[in-house]
């Protein structure tokens, strides 16, 4: 076994991927397959006043056009992050249960047809009329009605983080930094679009779904449809990227299952690229403000962090920006307060380094400015503020690589020889320079069980 660690080992699925023989979820050959297209709302807020499906139903190859009138009542399942191992709908709202529109792109109809082209064409023929009401989709529009929630991230974490007296720490500081950052919403846009194929055999459902966890899909669909999980089988061999967008289970999965039950044939849904922006959550639009207080020698006296972001009408979701920021340095005081704006968007979701990517970014930018203000080398400033124990609890770290990272990183890029003045070096039409920033991401521990049958022979893939 130790012969494998540290070895360069090619991915065992490499040959399948480079020859195109790897079958992704939307590529499984099935007899009698039909294709679904989802029609999304074109307004962000209001209600449907009428849907005329006549032209769509008459279009060639169409088997069914489902609206809310054809839908079963779907159970309300709470939003709990998928990593906890239970049902995990991405938002507590399930579409096509009434005539209310909560966000642009919200599914309002499903077309099922014999061919992809027929389904795509028929979807454009579904005539939906709306009564539109004013919507809030940006921080600017909703800022005046922002509120402070109790918990965020699917209830997993408290919204507020605090230790010490940040106000006093800032008041008594020799140097201050006060910086604001605005972040546009980010969309994962994995290269493989969302895709679900649903096949019923009597009361048993098989789903081929591009997802980050088959258990979450199984449990979520079963819970929404009021089925026993033992009747739901999920098969996923290859996933074409996700980046957080396929961890929670989004409405299209269950909608596809419902459509397949309705037409009594296998149904494949693959989201068009344009729908990917309104189908699987996103990283929320957010503004962060960070204030640092420090003594003349660079030692932090306080960090105050503020965040405001947009969430859906149904869930208090925000990615947690304050975790690493409150722990990375030995500041005696830290205060992180978060506000939410109820907006006409989907519930945001896990996105690449959820929360910490943004939180640490703002912290490190502020530290860089602080270094400039105090005339202290940025690497030295970090070294002076390293947390020898966890600043909130005083617990020892199991390991703490910051010092080594800083020293070794500086050495590797010749940090000592750099010109510290910004905008001081040119290369033709380019301004060039060197900078640094620290980063960390929390590690979470969960209990898990594994079962492996004993092998009767050696593994099939030797190291190279």
Partner 1 sequence: MSTDVISLPATRGPEAGTVMLSVNGQQRELRLEPRVSLLDALREHLGLTGSKKGCDQGTCGACTVWVDGRRMLACLTLAVTCEGREVTTIEGLSSDGELHPMQAAFVDRDAFQCGYCTPGQIMSAVALLEEGRAADDAEIAEWMSGNICRCAAYPNIRAAIRDVRDAAGGER
Partner 2 sequence: MRPLSYARADDASAAIALVAAHPEGAFLAGGTTEIDLTRQDVLRPELLVDINHLPLDGVEDLPDGGLRIGALARMSDVARAPAVTERFPMISQALVLGASAQLRNMASMGGNLCQRVRCGYFRDVTSPCNKRDPGSGCGALDGFHRGHAILGVSDQCIATHPSDVAVALVALDAVVHIRGPGGQRAIGIDDFFLLPGDTPDREHPLDHGELITAIEVPALPTARRSVYLKFRDRQSYEFALASVAAAIRVEDGTVTGARLALGGVGTKPWRARRAEAALFGQPASEDSFAEAAREELTQATPRQQNAFKVELARRVIVRALNTLMDGEAR
Q: Which residues are at the interface with partner 1 (CB under 8 A)?
A: 10-11, 13-24, 27, 29, 115-117, 188-193, 238-241, 243, 270, 272-273
Q: Is 42 in the site for partner 2 (CB under 8 A)?
A: yes
Considering CB distances under 5 to 8 angstroms, the limit depending on partner class, which of partner 2, partner 1, none binds residue 191?
partner 1
Q: Is 236 in the site for partner 2 (CB under 8 A)?
A: no
Helix (H) or strand (E) holding 372: helix 356-374
Q: Is 414 in the site for partner 2 (CB under 8 A)?
A: no
Q: Is 265 in the site for partner 2 (CB under 8 A)?
A: no
Considering CB distances under 5 to 8 angstroms, the limit depending on partner class, which of partner 1, partner 2, none binds residue 428?
partner 2
Among 98, 117, 178, 380, binds partner 2 (CB under 8 A): 117
End-to-end CA distance of the chain: 14
Considering CB distances under 5 to 8 angstroms, the limit depending on partner class, which of partner 2, partner 1, none binds residue 189?
partner 1
Q: Is 241 in the site for partner 2 (CB under 8 A)?
A: no
Q: How many residues bind partner 2 (CB under 8 A)?
A: 8
What φ, ψ does residue 104 adopt, rounded to 5°?
-65, 135
Count of CB atoms within 10 A of residue 457's CB? 5
Q: Pull the structure tokens for residue 42.
A: 């074109």
Q: Is 120 in the site for partner 2 (CB under 8 A)?
A: yes
Q: Is 129 in the site for partner 2 (CB under 8 A)?
A: no
Helix (H) or strand (E) holding 132: strand 127-132
The Cα–Cα gap between 244 and 347 comes to: 13
Q: Is 429 in the site for partner 2 (CB under 8 A)?
A: yes
Please report, for residues 8, 11, 13, 461, 464, the alpha-carbon distance to residue 5 in angstroms, rounded to integers and kept in the order given.
9, 14, 19, 14, 12
DSSP state of 94: -
Among 7, 97, 124, 419, binds partner 2 (CB under 8 A): 124
Please report, for residues 289, 317, 342, the alpha-carbon distance to residue 336 in angstroms, rounded to integers and kept in the order given.
10, 16, 20
In the complex, the smallest distance separating the C-beta of residue 60 from partner 1, rounded to whole angstroms, is 9
Among 10, 60, 226, 442, binds partner 2 (CB under 8 A): 60
In the complex, the smallest distance separating the C-beta of residue 201 from partner 1, rounded to whole angstroms, is 23
Q: Pull the structure tokens for residue 267.
A: 């149904």
Q: Is 77 left (phi over 0), alpha (psi -120 to 50) or beta?
A: beta
Q: Is 382 in the site for partner 2 (CB under 8 A)?
A: no
Residues within the interface to partner 2 (CB under 8 A): 42, 60, 117, 120-121, 124, 428-429
């Amino acid at each position: 076994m130790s012969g494998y660690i540290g070895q360069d080992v090619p991915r065992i699925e490499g040959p399948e991927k480079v020859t195109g023989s790897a079958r992704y979820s939307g590529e499984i050959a099935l007899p009698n397959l039909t294709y679904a297209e989802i029609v999304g709302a074109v307004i962000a807020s209001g209600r449907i006043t009428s849907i005329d499906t006549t032209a769509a139903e008459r279009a060639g190859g169409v088997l069914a056009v489902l609206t809310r009138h054809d839908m079963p009542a779907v159970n309300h399942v709470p939003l709990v992050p998928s990593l906890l191992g239970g049902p995990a709908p991405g938002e507590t709202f399930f579409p096509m249960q009434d005539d209310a529109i909560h966000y642009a792109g919200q599914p309002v109809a499903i077309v099922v047809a014999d061919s992809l082209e027929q389904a795509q064409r028929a979807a454009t023929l579904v005539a939906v009329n709306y009564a539109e009401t004013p919507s809030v989709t940006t921080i600017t529009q909703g800022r005046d009605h922002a509120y402070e929630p109790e918990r965020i991230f699917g209830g997993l974490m408290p919204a507020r983080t605090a230790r010490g007296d940040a106000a006093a720490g800032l008041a008594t500081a020799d140097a201050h930094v006060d910086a604001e950052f605005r972040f546009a919403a980010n969309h994962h846009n994995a290269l493989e679009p969302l895709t679900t194929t649903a096949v019923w055999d009597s009361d048993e459902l098989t789903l081929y779904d591009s997802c980050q966890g088959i258990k979450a899909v199984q449990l979520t669909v079963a819970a929404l449809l009021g089925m026993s999980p033992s009747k739901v089988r999920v098969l996923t061999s290859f996933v074409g990227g996700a980046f957080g967008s396929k961890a929670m289970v989004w409405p299209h999965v269950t909608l596809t299952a419902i459509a397949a039950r309705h037409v009594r044939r296998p149904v494949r849904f693959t989201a068009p690229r344009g729908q990917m922006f309104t189908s699987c959550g996103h990283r929320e639009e957010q503004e962060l403000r960070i204030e640092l207080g420090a003594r003349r020698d660079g030692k932090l006296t306080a960090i105050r962090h503020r965040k405001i972001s947009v969430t859906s009408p149904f869930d208090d979701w925000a990615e947690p920006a304050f975790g690493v920021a409150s722990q990375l340095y030995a500041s005696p005081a830290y205060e992180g307060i978060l506000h939410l704006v109820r907006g006409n968007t989907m519930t945001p979701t896990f996105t690449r380094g959820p929360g910490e990517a943004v939180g640490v970014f703002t912290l490190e930018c502020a530290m860089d400015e602080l270094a400039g203000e105090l005339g202290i080398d940025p690497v030295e400033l970090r070294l002076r503020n390293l947390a020898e124990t966890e600043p909130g609890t005083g617990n020892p770290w199991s390991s703490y690589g910051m010092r080594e990272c800083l020293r070794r990183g500086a050495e590797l890029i010749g940090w000592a020889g750099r010109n510290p003045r910004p905008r001081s070096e040119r290369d033709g039409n380019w301004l060039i320079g060197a900078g640094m920033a620290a980063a960390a991401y929390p590690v979470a521990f969960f209990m898990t069980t594994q079962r492996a049958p004993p092998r009767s022979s050696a593994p099939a893939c030797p190291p190279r």
